[in-house]
């Protein structure tokens, strides 16, 4: 009997990237957690059940091409030939920007890199972006401006365990990444969240601002830090610039004014600052709650201001960080699938960056297109007179995950040609003209970069079923059919990574000193140049900014930000605010986790959390269906009465399809810098679901 095969790898889902060991036995694949630093033997329910993904009943196992309105099985030659023919025709008729590419924050570094290269060279399109735009873009913009570098956590997760106090602004790790909570067991937690989440339940102090007011709260906390004398004058003078302008803005945010705007009592504001300032080791962490606003960049910047005033970033045992969401949310934004970036976190408008990357790719720099439009703008323009006529989607499900989902679904429907590469028939895949079945996590090698900026090996355990190919093989096959040299698109992940190393060399996210062999034995965090200062192998950079920030003068920048209202306010027609987020048993659009029986049983359908008083006024009963309506659409969801909810707020998770899609409600108002949509604030009304009516536009089956 053959020996069971075993590999050390990581969970397929979130950015914590918990370490696991997979074993393939006769009875199937089993998973156990490893003593990896981020999870130390822990997993959440999603991680424990992840092997179910390997044999979901509706796994895509052969290419499908739409004929006579139906998706029917086809061979690879037919499918790839169809795609290449249609793309070639549309490009010839409408130009290269007629074809768009939409990637995902779950793709390995190798896939993200090759997808960006494929878009720029094989298609020649500027129109590429990815769903990470909806996740981390505000923190990325604020982090780059403040520190000169964007790495979610500039320190290992394990550092948090020695902290005295951690402030979490708009993050709910107790539900989104439970194993992280073991690192937050010792510190006192200050949680800022409109909901009393599972994380807030464990907090020493919970500040519960109205949705969309956390920027005012952050300004008020800076005000308290300055006026009550808690700020670190020496640190501010020696390590930062721009304090005076930021302080002036904060000076108008008296605690009483902040209480009026946010609902957070003055005493709680003062207590939060006092806790942070008196702690020897303290951290400020932000998450999607701070980011997913039309002012998300300024909101994150305001929390960074607070952390700078208290002297935390770049200090041993203290700091500021952002909790990344998607599995490769960090690496996915470093290697070229973002509209304005080239590999190594280089800007596509930077002449030196274009020169470097084009040399690695063996093309003249002028071959590379310029920056494209951001995710929502790209999706919203599909099928419009000057917008893309075709789109290729890799590892994303925008029909469920994009804001203003009915509009985006209509735009997807209006395309001349839609291609989706996925391993399950997601809601977006079911709309496609061609569906390309690709490998998933345990069937492929590659690298992921977790929320700490640590690069990890994903290892293949078993072969994929049926006629499934890897995303790299798909890109290779398409590029070849589009007339590109075959060797320009390697299919072996290791070979792609070797090229990525060269392309990233000298960039902000420098991976040139990392290789698969080193990753087998070392913990490597970027930047990791090819050589260390003494000519030996660079050890990587677990902790950033200890000796200076990444701006040329080594100083961090305060941002002079000002509060502004959410893009949409309550009014007579829509008297409540809806906020959206995640729930423990589901992940992102749910395309994967809704197919796992245990997770489906734990969280089977859309729900809406409502305060009992709000529910009574609206005529709602616990467990009954409600219809939630915004200016953009309606959602049908089951009522959960939650006494800790604000009476002016309802909450919906965004994992569910059909008429339970929370994103039918969400507002696509964009942050001016990060282009992040306002997922967290929509004006709504709520009432009983009228029997016999259909509440929302259906996604075609």
Q: How far is the CB of 323 from ligand SF4 (least distance, A)?
A: 11
CA distance 566 to 132: 22
Nearer to ligand SF4, 38 or 429 (CB): 38
Q: How far is the CB of 587 from ligand SF4 (least distance, A)?
A: 6
Strand order across the 446-449 sheet? 446-449, 454-458, 524-525
Going from the C-alpha of 438 to that of each of 81, 390, 494, 634, the distances in angstroms are 17, 20, 18, 34
Biggest alpha carbon–alpha carbon distance for the chain: 75
Q: Which is nearer to ligand SF4, 150 or 175 (CB)?
A: 175
Of positions 11, 342, 402, 626, contacts ligand SF4 by CB under 6 A: 11
Residue 14 sits in the site that holds ligand SF4 (CB under 6 A): yes
Least distance (Å) from ligand SF4 to the CB of residue 300?
Answer: 22
**Residue 43 lies near ligand SF4 (rule: CB under 6 A):** yes
Nearest residue (CB) to ligand SF4, 116 versus 590: 590
> Could you tell me the two tokens for 317?
């045992």
User: Does the protein bind ligand SF4 through residue 329 (CB under 6 A)?
Assistant: no
Intra-chain end-to-end CA distance of the chain, in Å: 44
Of residues 39 and 396, the one with the C-beta less far from ligand SF4 = 39
Start-end of H helices in 581-669: 597-602, 612-618
Window of 16-24, 287-295, 390-398, 622-630 that interacts with ligand SF4 by CB under 6 A: 16-24
Phi/psi class of residue 495: alpha, beta or left (left: φ > 0; alpha: ψ in -120 to 50)?
alpha
Tell me how far, at minimum, the Cβ of 12 lies from ligand SF4, in Å.
7
- The one among 47, 314, 344, 403 contacting ligand SF4 by CB under 6 A: 47
> According to the binding rule CB under 6 A, does residue 39 interact with ligand SF4?
yes
Binding string, residues 178-207; x marks residues near ligand SF4 by CB under 6 A: xx----------------------------
Q: Compute how many residues bind ligand SF4; rule: CB under 6 A.
A: 14
DSSP annotation string for 12-27 = SSSTT--EEEEEEETT
Interaction of residue 235 with ligand SF4, rule CB under 6 A: no
Q: Where are the beta strands (DSSP E) in 316-416?
A: 319-322, 341-342, 346-347, 390-394
C-alpha to C-alpha distance for 455 and 493, rounded to whole angstroms: 14
Q: What does the alpha-carbon distance between residue 143 and residue 300 come to, in Å, rounded to a whole number?
A: 8
Tokens at residue 230, please? 């808690």
Residue 288 contacts ligand SF4 per CB under 6 A: no
645-659 as b/e, with b when 16 or more CB fall inside 10 Å?
A: bbeebbbbbbbbbbb
**Closest to ligand SF4 by CB, 18 or 135:** 18
Query: Which of these ranges, 44-52, 388-396, 487-495, 559-567, lies near ligand SF4 under the rule CB under 6 A?
Result: 44-52
Paired tokens of 13: 């889902």
Location of structure tokens 């089956």: 701
Helix (H, G, I), strand (E, B) or coil at 628: strand
Q: Which is nearer to ligand SF4, 174 or 217 (CB)?
A: 174
Alpha-carbon gap, residue 668 to 690, rounded angstroms = 27
Region binding ligand SF4 by CB under 6 A among candidate stretches 43-51, 91-99, 530-538, 629-637:
43-51
Going by their DSSP bridges, the two strands 524-525 and 556-557 should be labelled as unpaired
Between CA 41 and CA 386 the distance in angstroms is 52
560, burial (CB in 10 Å: exposed 0-12, middle 13-18, buried 19+)? middle
In the range 160-179, which residues lie near ligand SF4 by CB under 6 A?
177-179
Burial label for 92, CB within 10 Å (0-12, 13-18, 19+), is: exposed
Strand stretches in 87-181, DSSP E: 99-103, 128-130, 165-169
CB of 599 to ligand SF4, least distance (A): 10
**Distance of closest approach, residue 448 Cβ to ligand SF4, in angstroms:** 10
Establish if 16 lies at the interface with ligand SF4 (CB under 6 A): yes
Q: Which phi and psi angles does 221 have, rounded to 5°?
A: -65, -35
Write b or e for each residue in 197-220: b if 16 or more Cβ atoms lie within 10 A of its Cβ, otherwise e. Answer: bbbbeebebbbbbbbbbbbbbbbb
Which of 7, 27, 44, 364 is in the footprint of ligand SF4 by CB under 6 A?
A: 44
Nearer to ligand SF4, 38 or 556 (CB): 38
Residue 17 interacts with ligand SF4 (CB under 6 A): yes or no: yes
- Of 37-45, 153-161, 193-201, 675-683, the window that binds ligand SF4 (rule: CB under 6 A) is 37-45
Where in 473-502 is the site for ligand SF4 (CB under 6 A)? none
Specify the residue, 49 or 358, whose C-beta has the smaller distance to ligand SF4.
49
Query: In the bound complex, what is the minimum distance in angstroms from residue 329's beta carbon to ligand SF4?
Result: 12
440 binds ligand SF4 (CB under 6 A): no
Establish if 112 lies at the interface with ligand SF4 (CB under 6 A). Answer: no
Q: Which residue reads 């040139």 in tokens? A: 512
Q: Pairing between strand 346-347 and 205-207?
A: unpaired
Q: Find the binder of ligand SF4 among 9, 13, 117, 207 (CB under 6 A).
A: 13
Residue among 106, 184, 157 at smallest CA distance from 323? 157
At closest approach, how far in Å is the CB of 43 from ligand SF4? Answer: 4
Which residue among 22, 31, 46, 493 contacts ligand SF4 (CB under 6 A)?
Answer: 46
- Taking CB under 6 A as the rule, does residue 323 contact ligand SF4? no
Please say which residue, 13 or 417, places its beta carbon nearer to ligand SF4: 13
Quick one: 18 or 682, whose CB is closer to ligand SF4?
A: 18
CB within 8 A of 698, min separation 6: which ones?
658, 659
Residue 39 or 262: which CB sits closer to ligand SF4?
Answer: 39
Closest CB 16 distance from ligand SF4, rounded Å: 4
Which residue is nearest to ligand SF4, using beta carbons? 47
Contacts to ligand SF4 by CB under 6 A: 11, 13-14, 16-18, 39, 43-44, 46-47, 177-179
């Amino acid at each position: 009997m053959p020996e069971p095969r075993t590999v050390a790898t990581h969970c397929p889902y979130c950015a914590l990237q918990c370490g696991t060991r997979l074993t393939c036995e006769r009875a199937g694949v089993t998973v156990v957690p490893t003593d990896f630093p981020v999870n130390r033997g822990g997993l959440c329910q999603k991680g424990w059940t992840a092997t179910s993904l390997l044999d979901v009943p509706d796994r895509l196992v052969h290419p499908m091409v739409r004929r006579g309105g139906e998706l029917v099985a086809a061979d690879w030659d037919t499918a790839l030939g169809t795609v290449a023919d249609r793309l070639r025709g549309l490009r010839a008729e409408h130009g290269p920007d007629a074809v768009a590419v939409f990637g995902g924050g779950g793709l390995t570094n190798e896939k993200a890199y090759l997808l960006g290269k494929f878009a720029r060279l094989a298609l020649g399109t500027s129109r590429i972006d990815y769903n990470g735009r909806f996740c981390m873009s505000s923190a990325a913009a604020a982090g780059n401006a403040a520190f000169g570098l964007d790495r979610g956590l500039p320190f290992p997760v394990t550092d948090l365990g020695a902290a005295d106090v951690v402030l979490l602004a708009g993050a709910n790790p107790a539900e989104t990444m439970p194993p992280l909570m073991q690192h937050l067991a010792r510190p006192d937690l200050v949680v800022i969240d409109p909901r009393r989440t599972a994380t807030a339940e464990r907090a020493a102090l919970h500040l519960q601002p109205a949705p969309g007011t956390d920027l005012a709260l952050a300004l008020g906390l800076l005000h308290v830090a300055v006026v009550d004398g808690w700020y670190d004058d020496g640190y501010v003078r020696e390590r930062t610039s721009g304090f005076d302008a930021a302080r002036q803005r904060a000076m108008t945010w008296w605690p009483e004014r902040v209480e009026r705007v946010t609902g957070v009592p003055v005493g709680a504001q003062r207590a939060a600052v006092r806790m942070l300032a008196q702690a020897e080791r303290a951290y400020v962490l932000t998450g999607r709650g701070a980011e997913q606003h039309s002012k998300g960049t300024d909101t994150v910047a305001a929390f960074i201001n607070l952390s700078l005033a208290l002297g935390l970033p770049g200090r041993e045992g203290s700091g500021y960080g952002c909790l990344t969401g998607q599995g490769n949310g960090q690496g996915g934004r470093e290697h070229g699938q973002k509209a304005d970036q080239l590999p190594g976190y280089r800007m596509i408008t930077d002449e030196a960056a274009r020169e470097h990357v084009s040399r690695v790719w063996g093309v003249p720099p002028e071959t590379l297109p310029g920056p494209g439009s951001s995710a929502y703008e790209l999706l919203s323009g599909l099928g419009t007179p000057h917008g893309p006529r075709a789109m290729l989607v890799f590892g994303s499900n925008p029909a469920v995950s994009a804001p203003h989902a009915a509009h985006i679904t209509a735009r997807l429907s209006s395309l001349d040609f839609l291609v989706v590469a996925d391993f399950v028939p997601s809601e977006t895949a079911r709309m496609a003209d061609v569906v390309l079945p690709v490998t998933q996590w345990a069937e492929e090698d590659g690298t992921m970069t977790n929320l700490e900026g640590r690069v990890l090996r994903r290892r293949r355990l078993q072969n994929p079923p049926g006629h499934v190919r890897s995303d790299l093989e798909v890109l290779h096959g398409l590029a070849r059919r589009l007339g590109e040299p075959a060797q320009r698109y390697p299919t072996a992940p290791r070979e792609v990574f070797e090229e990525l190393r060269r392309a990233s060399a000298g960039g902000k996210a420098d991976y040139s000193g990392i290789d698969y062999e080193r990753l087998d034995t070392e913990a490597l965090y970027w930047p990791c140049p090819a050589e260390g200062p003494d000519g030996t192998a660079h050890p990587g950079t677990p902790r950033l900014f200890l000796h200076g920030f990444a701006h040329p003068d080594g100083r961090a920048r305060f941002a002079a930000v000002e509060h502004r209202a959410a893009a949409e306010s309550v009014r007579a027609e829509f008297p409540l605010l809806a906020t959206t987020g995640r729930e423990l048993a589901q992940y992102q659009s749910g395309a994967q986790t809704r197919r796992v029986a245990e997770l489906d049983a734990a969280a089977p359908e859309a729900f809406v959390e409502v305060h009992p008083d709000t529910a009574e006024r609206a005529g709602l009963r616990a467990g009954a269906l409600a219809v939630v309506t915004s200016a953009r659409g309606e959602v049908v969801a089951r009522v959960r009465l939650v006494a800790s909810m604000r009476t002016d707020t309802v909450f919906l998770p965004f994992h569910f399809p059909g008429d339970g899609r929370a994103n039918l409600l969400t507002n696509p108002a964009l942050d001016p810098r990060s282009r992040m949509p306002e997922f967290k604030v929509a004006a709504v009304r709520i009432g009983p679901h009228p029997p016999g009516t259909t509440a929302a536009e259906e996604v075609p089956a």
